[in-house]
Structure 1
Protein backbone atom coordinates (compact mmCIF):
# COMPACT_ATOMS: atom_id res chain seq x y z
CA UNK A 1 0.00 0.00 0.00
CA UNK A 2 1.16 3.43 -0.56
CA UNK A 3 3.75 4.99 0.84
CA UNK A 4 4.11 8.57 1.75
CA UNK A 5 4.24 9.98 -1.76
CA UNK A 6 4.98 13.71 -2.07
CA UNK A 7 2.73 15.48 -4.56
CA UNK A 8 4.59 17.82 -6.85
CA UNK A 9 1.70 19.96 -8.00
CA UNK A 10 1.37 22.47 -5.14
CA UNK A 11 2.56 25.96 -6.03
CA UNK A 12 3.04 27.01 -2.41
CA UNK A 13 5.64 25.08 -0.45
CA UNK A 14 6.55 25.10 3.21
CA UNK A 15 9.89 26.60 4.12
CA UNK A 16 11.18 23.41 5.70
CA UNK A 17 8.87 21.36 7.90
CA UNK A 18 5.46 22.59 9.08
CA UNK A 19 5.32 24.85 12.12
CA UNK A 20 2.38 22.80 13.43
CA UNK A 21 0.38 19.71 12.51
CA UNK A 22 -3.41 19.78 12.81
CA UNK A 23 -5.42 16.55 12.97
CA UNK A 24 -8.98 15.72 12.10
CA UNK A 25 -10.39 13.41 14.79
CA UNK A 26 -13.49 11.47 13.70
CA UNK A 27 -12.36 8.39 11.73
CA UNK A 28 -8.89 9.91 11.23
CA UNK A 29 -7.75 9.21 14.79
CA UNK A 30 -10.80 7.47 16.26
CA UNK A 31 -11.98 4.06 15.10
CA UNK A 32 -15.70 4.50 14.48
CA UNK A 33 -16.35 0.94 13.28
CA UNK A 34 -17.78 -0.18 16.69
CA UNK A 35 -20.75 2.11 16.06
CA UNK A 36 -22.15 -0.58 13.76
CA UNK A 37 -22.54 -2.82 16.83
CA UNK A 38 -24.65 -0.14 18.54
CA UNK A 39 -27.01 -0.09 15.57
CA UNK A 40 -27.27 -3.88 15.75
CA UNK A 41 -27.93 -3.66 19.51
CA UNK A 42 -31.13 -1.69 18.92
CA UNK A 43 -32.31 -3.89 16.03
CA UNK A 44 -31.19 -1.64 13.16
CA UNK A 45 -29.02 -2.83 10.25
CA UNK A 46 -25.32 -2.41 11.17
CA UNK A 47 -24.61 -0.93 7.72
CA UNK A 48 -26.90 1.95 8.64
CA UNK A 49 -24.00 3.33 10.72
CA UNK A 50 -22.21 4.48 7.58
CA UNK A 51 -25.37 6.00 6.14
CA UNK A 52 -25.96 7.85 9.40
CA UNK A 53 -22.45 9.30 9.55
CA UNK A 54 -22.61 10.38 5.91
CA UNK A 55 -25.99 12.01 6.58
CA UNK A 56 -24.63 13.77 9.64
CA UNK A 57 -21.75 15.23 7.65
CA UNK A 58 -24.00 16.17 4.73
CA UNK A 59 -26.33 18.14 6.96
CA UNK A 60 -23.46 19.81 8.82
CA UNK A 61 -21.96 20.87 5.49
CA UNK A 62 -25.34 22.13 4.28
CA UNK A 63 -25.73 24.29 7.37
CA UNK A 64 -22.22 25.66 6.90
CA UNK A 65 -22.92 26.46 3.24
CA UNK A 66 -26.04 28.35 4.31
CA UNK A 67 -24.13 30.32 6.94
CA UNK A 68 -25.46 28.36 9.92
CA UNK A 69 -23.92 25.97 12.44
CA UNK A 70 -25.11 23.30 14.87
CA UNK A 71 -23.27 20.98 17.24
CA UNK A 72 -22.08 17.62 15.91
CA UNK A 73 -24.01 15.68 18.57
CA UNK A 74 -27.23 17.61 17.95
CA UNK A 75 -27.14 16.93 14.21
CA UNK A 76 -26.16 13.32 14.87
CA UNK A 77 -29.11 12.68 17.16
CA UNK A 78 -31.57 14.38 14.81
CA UNK A 79 -30.23 12.40 11.87
CA UNK A 80 -30.74 9.18 13.83
CA UNK A 81 -34.35 10.07 14.58
CA UNK A 82 -34.99 10.30 10.88
CA UNK A 83 -33.00 7.25 9.84
CA UNK A 84 -33.74 4.56 12.42
CA UNK A 85 -36.39 2.13 11.16
CA UNK A 86 -38.88 2.47 14.05
CA UNK A 87 -40.78 -0.75 13.26
CA UNK A 88 -37.61 -2.84 13.50
CA UNK A 89 -36.22 -1.45 16.76
CA UNK A 90 -36.21 -3.62 19.88
CA UNK A 91 -36.57 -0.65 22.25
CA UNK A 92 -38.00 2.84 22.41
CA UNK A 93 -36.83 5.07 19.55
CA UNK A 94 -35.37 7.74 21.82
CA UNK A 95 -33.60 5.11 23.91
CA UNK A 96 -32.13 3.74 20.68
CA UNK A 97 -30.85 7.19 19.71
CA UNK A 98 -29.18 7.65 23.07
CA UNK A 99 -27.68 4.14 23.00
CA UNK A 100 -25.96 4.94 19.70
CA UNK A 101 -24.95 8.50 20.55
CA UNK A 102 -23.28 7.56 23.85
CA UNK A 103 -20.95 5.27 21.92
CA UNK A 104 -19.16 8.34 20.53
CA UNK A 105 -17.59 8.99 23.92
CA UNK A 106 -16.28 5.43 24.18
CA UNK A 107 -14.45 5.10 20.87
CA UNK A 108 -10.81 4.00 20.74
CA UNK A 109 -7.82 5.18 18.73
CA UNK A 110 -6.75 3.42 15.55
CA UNK A 111 -3.75 1.17 16.37
CA UNK A 112 -1.30 3.29 14.35
CA UNK A 113 -2.21 6.54 16.10
CA UNK A 114 -0.38 6.45 19.47
CA UNK A 115 3.00 5.59 17.96
CA UNK A 116 2.59 8.04 15.10
CA UNK A 117 1.56 10.89 17.37
CA UNK A 118 4.41 10.27 19.80
CA UNK A 119 6.95 10.09 16.97
CA UNK A 120 5.75 13.42 15.59
CA UNK A 121 5.88 15.03 19.03
CA UNK A 122 9.36 13.62 19.65
CA UNK A 123 10.43 15.13 16.32
CA UNK A 124 9.55 18.54 17.71
CA UNK A 125 6.21 19.30 16.04
CA UNK A 126 3.42 21.25 17.69
CA UNK A 127 0.29 19.10 17.52
CA UNK A 128 -3.34 20.20 17.61
CA UNK A 129 -6.76 18.98 16.54
CA UNK A 130 -9.40 20.58 14.36
CA UNK A 131 -12.56 18.51 14.60
CA UNK A 132 -16.16 18.93 13.55
CA UNK A 133 -16.96 17.06 16.75
CA UNK A 134 -16.63 18.27 20.31
CA UNK A 135 -13.46 19.07 22.22
CA UNK A 136 -14.76 16.96 25.10
CA UNK A 137 -14.97 13.85 22.92
CA UNK A 138 -11.40 14.36 21.71
CA UNK A 139 -10.24 14.98 25.28
CA UNK A 140 -11.64 11.65 26.46
CA UNK A 141 -10.40 9.77 23.38
CA UNK A 142 -6.83 10.98 23.88
CA UNK A 143 -6.86 10.61 27.66
CA UNK A 144 -8.12 7.02 27.41
CA UNK A 145 -5.55 6.36 24.67
CA UNK A 146 -2.65 7.78 26.69
CA UNK A 147 -1.73 10.57 24.25
CA UNK A 148 -3.46 13.66 25.67
CA UNK A 149 -0.11 15.11 26.76
CA UNK A 150 1.18 14.97 23.18
CA UNK A 151 -1.22 17.69 21.98
CA UNK A 152 -0.67 21.39 22.55
CA UNK A 153 -4.27 22.35 21.75
CA UNK A 154 -7.57 20.60 21.11
CA UNK A 155 -9.55 22.77 18.70
CA UNK A 156 -13.11 22.24 17.52
CA UNK A 157 -15.36 24.03 15.06
CA UNK A 158 -17.63 24.60 18.06
CA UNK A 159 -15.54 27.74 18.54
CA UNK A 160 -14.97 28.48 14.84
CA UNK A 161 -17.23 30.42 12.48
CA UNK A 162 -18.16 27.32 10.49
CA UNK A 163 -17.70 23.58 10.10
CA UNK A 164 -14.92 22.16 7.99
CA UNK A 165 -14.47 22.25 5.03
CA UNK A 166 -15.41 25.96 5.08
CA UNK A 167 -12.21 28.07 4.80
CA UNK A 168 -13.09 29.95 7.99
CA UNK A 169 -12.62 26.77 10.04
CA UNK A 170 -9.02 26.29 8.93
CA UNK A 171 -8.30 30.01 9.28
CA UNK A 172 -9.63 29.78 12.84
CA UNK A 173 -7.04 27.11 13.65
CA UNK A 174 -4.32 29.18 12.01
CA UNK A 175 -5.25 32.18 14.13
CA UNK A 176 -5.42 30.31 17.44
CA UNK A 177 -2.10 28.59 16.77
CA UNK A 178 -0.51 31.83 15.58
CA UNK A 179 0.82 30.04 12.52
CA UNK A 180 0.23 31.13 8.88
CA UNK A 181 -1.95 28.72 6.94
CA UNK A 182 0.95 27.92 4.61
CA UNK A 183 2.96 26.62 7.57
CA UNK A 184 0.25 24.25 8.79
CA UNK A 185 -0.18 20.61 7.81
CA UNK A 186 -3.61 19.02 8.12
CA UNK A 187 -3.82 15.24 8.58
CA UNK A 188 -7.16 13.66 7.69
CA UNK A 189 -8.72 10.47 6.36
CA UNK A 190 -11.46 12.35 4.49
CA UNK A 191 -10.69 13.69 1.00
CA UNK A 192 -13.23 16.50 1.49
CA UNK A 193 -11.21 17.70 4.49
CA UNK A 194 -7.98 17.50 2.51
CA UNK A 195 -9.55 19.57 -0.26
CA UNK A 196 -10.93 22.16 2.13
CA UNK A 197 -7.60 22.58 3.89
CA UNK A 198 -5.71 22.86 0.61
CA UNK A 199 -8.12 25.51 -0.64
CA UNK A 200 -7.57 27.41 2.60
CA UNK A 201 -3.81 27.40 2.00
CA UNK A 202 -2.75 24.53 4.28
CA UNK A 203 -0.57 21.60 3.33
CA UNK A 204 -2.13 18.18 3.65
CA UNK A 205 -1.52 14.54 4.48
CA UNK A 206 -4.17 11.98 3.54
CA UNK A 207 -4.42 8.82 5.64
CA UNK A 208 -5.54 6.11 3.23
CA UNK A 209 -5.86 3.08 5.48
CA UNK A 210 -8.14 1.20 3.09
CA UNK A 211 -6.28 1.58 -0.20
CA UNK A 212 -9.06 3.70 -1.67
CA UNK A 213 -8.73 5.80 -4.81
CA UNK A 214 -8.47 9.52 -4.14
CA UNK A 215 -11.25 11.49 -5.90
CA UNK A 216 -9.85 13.34 -8.91
CA UNK A 217 -12.17 16.32 -8.36
CA UNK A 218 -10.49 17.20 -5.03
CA UNK A 219 -7.12 18.93 -4.54
CA UNK A 220 -4.40 16.30 -4.42
CA UNK A 221 -2.81 15.79 -0.98
CA UNK A 222 0.83 16.65 -0.41
CA UNK A 223 1.37 13.31 1.29
CA UNK A 224 -0.48 10.01 1.00
CA UNK A 225 0.08 7.62 3.88
CA UNK A 226 -1.11 4.11 4.71
CA UNK A 227 -0.64 4.70 8.45
CA UNK A 228 0.12 7.69 10.64
CA UNK A 229 3.49 6.34 11.71
CA UNK A 230 4.72 6.86 8.13
CA UNK A 231 4.37 10.63 8.43
CA UNK A 232 7.50 11.43 10.51
CA UNK A 233 9.72 9.73 7.94
CA UNK A 234 7.94 11.43 5.05
CA UNK A 235 8.46 14.84 6.65
CA UNK A 236 12.09 14.10 7.45
CA UNK A 237 12.72 13.08 3.86
CA UNK A 238 11.34 16.45 2.70
CA UNK A 239 13.68 18.55 4.80
Structure 2
Protein backbone atom coordinates (compact mmCIF):
# COMPACT_ATOMS: atom_id res chain seq x y z
CA UNK A 1 0.00 0.00 0.00
CA UNK A 2 2.78 2.41 0.99
CA UNK A 3 4.85 1.54 -2.08
CA UNK A 4 1.87 2.12 -4.36
CA UNK A 5 1.22 5.55 -2.85
CA UNK A 6 4.92 6.42 -3.13
CA UNK A 7 4.97 5.50 -6.84
CA UNK A 8 1.84 7.57 -7.45
CA UNK A 9 3.41 10.56 -5.67
CA UNK A 10 6.60 10.22 -7.75
CA UNK A 11 4.60 10.16 -11.00
CA UNK A 12 2.65 13.21 -9.84
CA UNK A 13 5.84 15.11 -8.99
CA UNK A 14 7.37 14.33 -12.37
CA UNK A 15 4.24 15.51 -14.12
CA UNK A 16 4.19 18.68 -12.02
CA UNK A 17 7.84 19.36 -12.84
CA UNK A 18 7.19 18.90 -16.57
CA UNK A 19 4.28 21.33 -16.41
CA UNK A 20 6.34 23.98 -14.60
CA UNK A 21 9.17 23.58 -17.13
CA UNK A 22 6.76 23.92 -20.04
CA UNK A 23 5.21 27.08 -18.62
CA UNK A 24 8.66 28.55 -17.98
CA UNK A 25 9.72 27.93 -21.58
CA UNK A 26 6.46 29.22 -23.02
CA UNK A 27 6.49 32.53 -21.18
CA UNK A 28 10.24 33.18 -21.44
CA UNK A 29 9.99 34.33 -25.07
CA UNK A 30 9.56 31.34 -27.38
CA UNK A 31 7.05 28.53 -27.73
CA UNK A 32 7.81 24.84 -27.23
CA UNK A 33 5.53 21.83 -26.80
CA UNK A 34 5.97 19.57 -23.77
CA UNK A 35 6.72 16.54 -25.95
CA UNK A 36 9.21 18.57 -27.99
CA UNK A 37 11.71 19.71 -25.36
CA UNK A 38 14.96 18.88 -27.11
CA UNK A 39 18.59 18.40 -26.21
CA UNK A 40 21.10 20.97 -27.39
CA UNK A 41 21.74 20.41 -31.13
CA UNK A 42 25.25 19.91 -32.47
CA UNK A 43 24.58 22.00 -35.56
CA UNK A 44 22.03 24.61 -36.61
CA UNK A 45 20.95 24.57 -40.26
CA UNK A 46 19.46 27.72 -41.79
CA UNK A 47 17.30 28.10 -44.84
CA UNK A 48 18.31 31.19 -46.84
CA UNK A 49 15.62 33.03 -48.82
CA UNK A 50 13.07 34.72 -46.54
CA UNK A 51 14.56 33.05 -43.47
CA UNK A 52 17.82 35.00 -43.58
CA UNK A 53 17.35 37.27 -46.60
CA UNK A 54 14.55 39.79 -47.04
CA UNK A 55 12.63 39.37 -50.32
CA UNK A 56 10.73 42.63 -49.92
CA UNK A 57 12.85 44.46 -52.50
CA UNK A 58 11.86 41.81 -55.03
CA UNK A 59 8.34 43.27 -54.98
CA UNK A 60 9.27 46.34 -56.99
CA UNK A 61 11.21 44.31 -59.55
CA UNK A 62 8.45 41.75 -60.00
CA UNK A 63 5.78 44.46 -59.95
CA UNK A 64 7.52 46.34 -62.76
CA UNK A 65 7.55 43.19 -64.87
CA UNK A 66 3.92 42.43 -64.04
CA UNK A 67 2.36 45.78 -64.88
CA UNK A 68 2.70 47.19 -61.38
CA UNK A 69 0.83 44.38 -59.60
CA UNK A 70 2.69 43.93 -56.30
CA UNK A 71 0.24 41.27 -55.19
CA UNK A 72 1.67 38.79 -57.67
CA UNK A 73 5.01 38.32 -55.88
CA UNK A 74 3.70 35.59 -53.50
CA UNK A 75 2.09 33.85 -56.48
CA UNK A 76 5.38 33.90 -58.36
CA UNK A 77 7.31 32.49 -55.37
CA UNK A 78 4.76 29.72 -54.73
CA UNK A 79 4.72 28.86 -58.45
CA UNK A 80 8.52 28.58 -58.35
CA UNK A 81 8.37 26.25 -55.33
CA UNK A 82 5.61 24.20 -56.94
CA UNK A 83 7.62 23.59 -60.06
CA UNK A 84 10.81 22.84 -58.16
CA UNK A 85 8.89 19.87 -56.76
CA UNK A 86 7.67 19.00 -60.25
CA UNK A 87 11.33 18.98 -61.26
CA UNK A 88 12.17 16.67 -58.36
CA UNK A 89 9.40 14.10 -58.77
CA UNK A 90 9.87 13.95 -62.55
CA UNK A 91 13.65 13.54 -62.16
CA UNK A 92 14.23 16.54 -64.43
CA UNK A 93 16.45 18.89 -62.39
CA UNK A 94 16.73 22.56 -63.33
CA UNK A 95 18.59 25.37 -61.58
CA UNK A 96 16.40 27.19 -59.04
CA UNK A 97 16.93 30.54 -60.75
CA UNK A 98 15.87 29.05 -64.08
CA UNK A 99 12.72 27.71 -62.43
CA UNK A 100 12.13 31.18 -61.01
CA UNK A 101 12.36 32.72 -64.48
CA UNK A 102 10.01 30.12 -65.90
CA UNK A 103 7.56 30.64 -63.03
CA UNK A 104 7.51 34.40 -63.63
CA UNK A 105 6.75 33.84 -67.29
CA UNK A 106 3.86 31.55 -66.29
CA UNK A 107 2.41 34.12 -63.90
CA UNK A 108 2.71 36.82 -66.57
CA UNK A 109 1.02 34.63 -69.16
CA UNK A 110 -1.82 33.73 -66.81
CA UNK A 111 -2.41 37.44 -66.22
CA UNK A 112 -2.26 38.40 -69.91
CA UNK A 113 1.06 40.21 -69.50
CA UNK A 114 3.68 40.10 -72.25
CA UNK A 115 7.10 39.09 -70.87
CA UNK A 116 10.10 37.63 -72.69
CA UNK A 117 12.53 35.14 -71.15
CA UNK A 118 15.31 37.74 -71.05
CA UNK A 119 13.01 40.27 -69.36
CA UNK A 120 12.02 37.65 -66.79
CA UNK A 121 15.67 36.78 -66.16
CA UNK A 122 16.62 40.41 -65.54
CA UNK A 123 13.62 40.76 -63.25
CA UNK A 124 14.61 37.78 -61.09
CA UNK A 125 18.33 37.10 -61.08
CA UNK A 126 20.04 40.45 -60.24
CA UNK A 127 17.61 41.35 -57.41
CA UNK A 128 17.72 37.80 -56.00
CA UNK A 129 21.51 37.92 -55.76
CA UNK A 130 21.49 41.28 -53.98
CA UNK A 131 18.95 40.75 -51.20
CA UNK A 132 19.67 42.30 -47.79
CA UNK A 133 19.57 40.30 -44.57
CA UNK A 134 16.62 40.79 -42.22
CA UNK A 135 17.52 43.18 -39.40
CA UNK A 136 17.42 40.41 -36.77
CA UNK A 137 19.77 38.06 -38.63
CA UNK A 138 23.29 39.31 -37.93
CA UNK A 139 22.82 39.92 -34.17
CA UNK A 140 21.28 36.46 -33.79
CA UNK A 141 23.96 34.70 -35.84
CA UNK A 142 26.73 36.45 -33.92
CA UNK A 143 25.21 35.20 -30.66
CA UNK A 144 24.60 31.66 -31.88
CA UNK A 145 28.03 31.31 -33.46
CA UNK A 146 29.61 31.45 -30.00
CA UNK A 147 27.98 28.14 -29.00
CA UNK A 148 26.96 26.35 -32.19
CA UNK A 149 28.19 25.22 -35.57
CA UNK A 150 26.13 27.14 -38.16
CA UNK A 151 25.51 26.00 -41.75
CA UNK A 152 23.04 26.97 -44.46
CA UNK A 153 20.97 24.69 -46.69
CA UNK A 154 19.15 26.15 -49.65
CA UNK A 155 17.31 25.34 -52.86
CA UNK A 156 19.40 28.01 -54.57
CA UNK A 157 22.57 27.07 -56.45
CA UNK A 158 26.03 27.01 -54.86
CA UNK A 159 27.17 30.04 -56.83
CA UNK A 160 23.88 31.80 -56.14
CA UNK A 161 24.02 31.49 -52.35
CA UNK A 162 27.72 32.38 -52.37
CA UNK A 163 26.90 35.66 -54.14
CA UNK A 164 23.93 36.27 -51.84
CA UNK A 165 25.99 35.80 -48.67
CA UNK A 166 28.81 37.99 -49.96
CA UNK A 167 26.39 40.81 -50.76
CA UNK A 168 24.47 40.49 -47.47
CA UNK A 169 27.64 40.17 -45.37
CA UNK A 170 26.75 36.72 -44.00
CA UNK A 171 29.65 34.59 -45.23
CA UNK A 172 31.73 34.63 -42.04
CA UNK A 173 28.90 33.45 -39.82
CA UNK A 174 28.77 29.99 -41.40
CA UNK A 175 31.19 27.09 -41.46
CA UNK A 176 29.65 25.70 -44.65
CA UNK A 177 26.99 26.38 -47.27
CA UNK A 178 25.01 23.43 -48.63
CA UNK A 179 22.85 23.44 -51.76
CA UNK A 180 20.43 20.89 -53.19
CA UNK A 181 22.30 21.45 -56.46
CA UNK A 182 24.76 18.78 -55.31
CA UNK A 183 22.05 16.14 -54.96
CA UNK A 184 19.57 17.58 -57.49
CA UNK A 185 16.63 16.95 -55.19
CA UNK A 186 14.75 19.99 -53.88
CA UNK A 187 13.57 20.49 -50.33
CA UNK A 188 11.26 19.38 -48.77
CA UNK A 189 11.95 15.96 -50.33
CA UNK A 190 13.21 13.79 -47.46
CA UNK A 191 16.20 12.69 -49.54
CA UNK A 192 17.53 16.25 -49.43
CA UNK A 193 17.61 16.32 -45.61
CA UNK A 194 19.06 12.79 -45.45
CA UNK A 195 21.86 13.87 -47.79
CA UNK A 196 22.53 16.96 -45.66
CA UNK A 197 22.76 14.90 -42.47
CA UNK A 198 25.24 12.58 -44.16
CA UNK A 199 27.41 15.57 -45.09
CA UNK A 200 27.24 16.85 -41.52
CA UNK A 201 27.87 13.38 -40.06
CA UNK A 202 25.24 13.84 -37.36
CA UNK A 203 22.11 11.98 -36.35
CA UNK A 204 18.83 13.66 -37.36
CA UNK A 205 17.96 14.73 -33.80
CA UNK A 206 21.37 16.39 -33.44
CA UNK A 207 20.58 18.98 -36.13
CA UNK A 208 18.16 21.89 -35.88
CA UNK A 209 16.56 23.15 -39.12
CA UNK A 210 15.56 26.82 -39.02
CA UNK A 211 13.18 28.18 -41.66
CA UNK A 212 10.45 30.72 -42.30
CA UNK A 213 8.64 28.24 -44.54
CA UNK A 214 6.12 25.76 -43.18
CA UNK A 215 6.96 23.29 -45.94
CA UNK A 216 10.68 23.31 -45.09
CA UNK A 217 10.00 22.83 -41.39
CA UNK A 218 7.56 20.02 -42.18
CA UNK A 219 10.07 18.18 -44.36
CA UNK A 220 12.90 18.49 -41.85
CA UNK A 221 10.66 17.31 -39.01
CA UNK A 222 9.64 14.22 -40.98
CA UNK A 223 13.33 13.56 -41.56
CA UNK A 224 13.79 13.43 -37.78
CA UNK A 225 15.50 16.79 -37.32
CA UNK A 226 14.74 19.34 -34.64
CA UNK A 227 12.95 22.29 -36.23
CA UNK A 228 12.37 25.98 -35.62
CA UNK A 229 9.76 28.04 -37.47
CA UNK A 230 10.46 31.75 -37.89
CA UNK A 231 7.00 33.31 -38.10
CA UNK A 232 7.86 36.20 -40.38
CA UNK A 233 4.93 38.33 -41.63
CA UNK A 234 2.81 36.44 -44.13
CA UNK A 235 4.24 33.05 -43.20
CA UNK A 236 2.24 30.23 -41.63
CA UNK A 237 2.74 26.63 -40.63
CA UNK A 238 1.12 23.78 -42.55
CA UNK A 239 -1.67 22.67 -40.18
CA UNK A 240 -1.45 18.97 -41.16
CA UNK A 241 2.28 18.69 -40.48
CA UNK A 242 3.97 17.86 -37.19
CA UNK A 243 4.51 20.89 -34.99
CA UNK A 244 8.04 22.33 -34.90
CA UNK A 245 10.06 22.29 -31.70
CA UNK A 246 10.30 26.08 -31.64
CA UNK A 247 7.98 28.78 -32.95
CA UNK A 248 9.44 32.28 -32.72
CA UNK A 249 8.86 35.70 -34.27
CA UNK A 250 12.46 36.26 -35.31
CA UNK A 251 15.98 34.85 -35.07
CA UNK A 252 16.93 36.93 -32.04
CA UNK A 253 14.13 35.27 -30.07
CA UNK A 254 15.39 31.85 -31.15
CA UNK A 255 18.98 32.76 -30.25
CA UNK A 256 17.85 33.74 -26.76
CA UNK A 257 16.17 30.37 -26.28
CA UNK A 258 19.09 28.34 -27.62
CA UNK A 259 21.81 30.14 -25.72
CA UNK A 260 19.93 29.44 -22.48
CA UNK A 261 20.30 25.68 -23.01
Partner of 2:33: 7
Q: 1:57 and 1:212, CA in 2 relative to 1: closer, same or farther beyond 3 A?
A: closer
2:132 to 108, 111, 114: 108
Q: Which runs of 5+ in 2 are unaligned?
A: 1-26
- Report whether the alignment pairs 1:127 with 2:150: yes
Deviation at 1:211, TM superposition (A): 7.5
Structure having greater relative contact order (Cα 8 Å, sep ≥ 6): 1
Give 1 or 2: higher helix fraction. 2
- Report whether the alignment pairs 1:174 with 2:200: no
1:62 to 74, 77, 86: 86
Aligned counterparts, 1:190-209, within 5 A:
190-209=213-232
Q: 1:8 and 1:65, CA in 2 relative to 1: closer, same or farther beyond 3 A?
A: farther
TM-score by length of 2: 0.81
Computed over aligned residues only, the root mean square deviation of the Cα atoms, in angstroms, reads 2.1
- Report whether the alignment pairs 1:20 with 2:32: no
Partner of 2:176: 153
Larger radius of gyration: 2
Higher mean alpha-carbon deviation, 41-50 vs 223-232, is at: 41-50
TM-score by length of 1: 0.88
Q: Which runs of 5+ in 1 are unaligned?
A: none
1:118 to 118, 142, 158: 142
Return the alpha-carbon distance in structure 1 between the equivalents of residues 132 and 190 of structure 2. Answer: 29
Partner of 1:140: 163
1:50 to 74, 81, 104: 74
Indicate conservation of the 8 Å contact 1:170/1:200, yes or no: yes
Return the alpha-carbon distance in structure 2 between the equivalents of residues 166 and 215 of structure 1. Answer: 15
Return the alpha-carbon distance in structure 1 between the equivalents of residues 193 and 47 of structure 2. Answer: 11
Paired residues in the alignment total 231
